[in-house]
Structure 1
Amino acid sequence: MTVCLWLICVLLLVIIILLFNQTINSFQDNYTDLTQKKLELETRVKDLTAEKDQLKNSFSSLSQKKLELETRVSDLTVDKSQLQRSAHTLNQKKLELETRVKDLTAEKDQLKNSFSSLSQKKLQLETRVKDLTVEKSQLQRSADSLSQKKMQLETRVIDLTAEKIQLQRSVSSLRQKNLQLESKVTSLSDELLRNLCGPGNLFFISDEEKSWSESRKYCRDHGADLVIINTEEKQRFISSIINERVWIGLSDIETEGRMKWVDNSPLNRGFWFRGQPNNSGNEDCVELIPRDQLN
């Protein structure tokens, strides 16, 4: 398109120049004709002057010729005015052509700038196409990698699903075993409770606050005594049913530092934390503390 525009502009410029040259040549031919006619008129005037001198007697004929000459001069004057108007028109056309040439030159410069801008945009587009091609290749590789990872994940999901099914089966089996174990533990707990709470092993926990001596007196008044803990099972059972601190039948009231049960049997083994009882603050009597109240 740019080359075609350039060719059209050149052809228009050549045509305008040819037309301008043709007009100038025509003007020059007319000017030559006028000059030649002027010379002829001058010669004619000389001839008429000579004829006037020779034909003084022929005044009427000369007057007639004078009228003809005047008419001819008028015609020449009219032709001169027409030539002047033609020259003025040609000057206007010349100015228009010069303006047109300037406009065409400006359009030519604009077309050059547009061509340069288009060339630059073309280079940018080519660079962009190369970049997009590289990005396409990278995206294709990424898509291939993602497809491979997707297949791996699908395989992993299948494996995990199978493992999940196996785990669910294992969980169901474990739940069933847990129920069986809970049933056995409940049965054992009931049996232990029957053993602990059999004849001679009944427990009473009072909600009244009393000292160790007052508590023992209260128990003895009711035909019992503070509890003696001589087995680990008994210790666990009592610890499981108390919510507050309770006295037990162990003290060193009679002999400091020598712990004895209320049936006068010595303390051979205690089922509590190591180092207890520790006689902190000159303690004489022992109490059990629920696990949730321990520091």
Structure 2
Amino acid sequence: MVRTIDYQDFTEMETDPQAIEEPTTWKTEGVPAKPHFPVRPLYVILAAAALVGIVIVCLFLSKSSEMAAESQLLRAEQAKVQESCNSSTIESMEAEIEETQNKVSEVSSQMENLQSTVAEMSSQLQNVGAALKEMAPDMSTQMRKLQREVSRLSLQMRILQMGGSDKSFNLHEWEVNVRNETANSNWSDLSGHQYYFSSDRLSWSSARDTCTSMSSYLAVVTTEQEQDFIISKMRERSWVGLSDLEEESVWKWTTGEPVEQRFWESGEPNNEFDEDCGEIKENGKLNDIPCNLRRHFVCEKDDVGAQ
């Protein structure tokens, strides 16, 4: 089959409007003709699209550049603000740390001074305590000797002034007991002191005066050792040098020393029956009873030469 094609003149297409509007047809023998499209409008459209794309890309790049510049500027401002904040915060923290360190140093210095003062005071207290311990036995001995002399002088004055007429003091009873107790004296030693345990019973005042006549005094109980020693030797509950005769409810030993509560019987002293004088019971505890009751008694003196 022979295909014949009719070609149209392109010049004619450019000048003839009809040629532009009507598509060129391909004629083949026995085959239907196909339409022909113009080429230039397609190029124009593509060029316009490319131009629009370029414009869009340029606009995008320009906007992106502006946004990047703004972002960079914002980052720079943020960095400045952060640096400023960090610098201010660090300076503030450093100032607080320095202030705290100064306070800690001041407190530490005060603590050291306080510890030094406490140590010095403790040393002084220990020295005072040691001195008092050394002085205590001598002071106690001197007080007892002084009390003994006072009691002796008081007794002599009562004998001279009352002549045995005072009901609270029976001179005849005292003289008889002095002779008996002196003749049968039996003293026991404990830690530089001597103790006499009577075989007769007297009132508290008569017992006190009897001890005085033997250059001694009613026993004073100030230690557990003395307490145990006395109850191991005495025959039964006995008078000791304890009373509140000078001031009601103010119990003292005849030496002027106060009485420690631990030596009292539970619930004593109670002054139940006008009880102003003290006795020591078989269990070693002190008890207050009326002074006119008759009891054995315990005398105490500092050394043999005092008898």
TM-score band w.r.t. shorter chain: 0.3 to 0.5
Instruction: Specify which structure has the higher proportion of helix.
Output: 1
Instruction: Specify which structure has the higher proportion of strand.
Output: 2
What's the TM-score once normalised by structure 2's chain length?
0.36
Please identify the structure whose Cα radius of gyration is greater.
1
What's the TM-score once normalised by structure 1's chain length?
0.37
